[in-house]
Amino acid sequence: MPEFEIQLRDVMLFATHGVMQEESVTGNQYRVNVRLRLDADSFDVDKDDLGSTISYAEVFDLLRCVMECRVALLETVAVKFAREVCNRWPSVKSGWIEIVKTVPPIPNMIGEAGVRYDF
């Protein structure tokens, strides 16, 4: 069965998620990757119509909206995003979201920290 994978890659967003209180003030830069898999059977190449697929601009708008709502855990952000995707676009068969905190507030750590949620 043919499928499409809608992708957002290396999206950079600023947000204030985190367990530590100072993160709600200083915030952090996040890099987000999203993959959504959907059936391609309903895609009509002759119509060349966005209505038979998912607009990545709409996926980005949803991502931005979910990222703007402060929570403590990135796991919470990931699950909220996945639930909204599945509610809004029933044609999504599966997907994943990866959220990476590019400068985690961990003493003496050089690198990134994040989560990936498969749904």
Q: Residue 50: its pLDDT value, please?
A: 86
Looking at residue 73, its pLDDT comes to: 97
Which pLDDT belongs to residue 108?
95
Q: What is the pLDDT of residue 59?
A: 98
Mean pLDDT, 10 residues at a time, the chain of 119 residues: 94 96 92 95 81 93 98 98 97 97 94 97
Q: What is the pLDDT of residue 27?
A: 95
Strand residues in 23-111 grouped as ranges (E): 28-39, 92-101
Cα–Cα distance between 75 and 101 in angstroms, integer? 12
pLDDT at 99: 98
pLDDT of residue 42: 76
Pair of tokens at residue 119: 């749904």
Q: What is the pLDDT of residue 17?
A: 96
- 3-class secondary structure, 88: helix
Q: Are 89 and 82 in contact (CB under 8 A)?
A: no
Residue type present at position 39: D
Inter-CA distances, 25 with 4, 22, 98, 109, Å: 39, 5, 23, 21
Q: What is the pTM of this model?
A: 0.92
pLDDT at 2: 87
